Structure 1
């Protein structure tokens, strides 16, 4: 069973521009549609709330794992299953990685989300489906934002 999502995005923007869009919490918040409480720093907890239409009641809670300028940004974020009755901090986490590579046209960004095996069925299938669709939407928003 598939337990990861991989999305490759070709951006007509320099790697420095794409890096800023994913590593600066204010810029990330604009295109990702999340209101974040503070800057991204490796090892730090990032909190806030989603502003994406229909998801405004969803909390954002992630631990910034790695920040390697113009190369890699990663975080572990919490699944939010409203039906579980658990606080978001008690819910399972998935790892999201943004890998940047320069290309002749700009930047190749590979977004990988992994760790879905910690979720029980049928929740796992639901989250994989929803997050695959979500990354397709977020990739389009990022393209529009940096280009």
Structure 2
């Protein structure tokens, strides 16, 4: 049986696309809702990173920037070694709806993993996106 390779979440946010875009694509925005510290070189091929309290880090490569509608990056999965070349691809799509934004996040690339790593990564990222998108909304609402 083939494993699911895709996690997709769509939420509607009561803030305009420009505000959501800034939260997704700036160091200030990312460090306010996603990590505790962040840096980003917002251009295709640029690097980005996030750090969390407790020592977890995520190194990313910016793959797609179509301001203000599409932002995509690749990142290493935590269960794989630092030198493992496999990555998942995360893409945010922003669509204006009324006075707000419909935000869709899609993460793909899980099917490349061995069984023992797949379940932990897929389940962890599925739970993680639900939590992180809630934190994004909380951040945007508090900054309003």
Normalised by the size of structure 2, how large is the TM-score? 0.88
Q: Where does 1:14-53 land on structure 2 (aligned, <5 Å)?
A: 14-51=16-53
Unaligned runs of 5+ in 1: none
Q: Aligned with 1:19: secondary structure?
A: helix
1:13 aligns to what?
A: 15
Unaligned runs of 5+ in 2: none
Q: Distance in 2 between matches of 1:27 and 1:145?
A: 9
Query: Which runs of 4 or more aligned residues in structure 1 lie more than 4 Å from their structure 2 counterparts after TM superposition?
Result: none
1:73 aligns to what?
A: 71
Corresponding residue to 1:118 among 89, 108, 112: 112
Q: Distance in 1 between matches of 2:122 and 2:78?
A: 13
Bigger mean CA deviation after superposition, 35-44 or 66-75 = 35-44
1:102 aligns to what?
A: 96
The size of the alignment, in residue pairs, is 139
Q: Aligned with 1:122: secondary structure?
A: helix
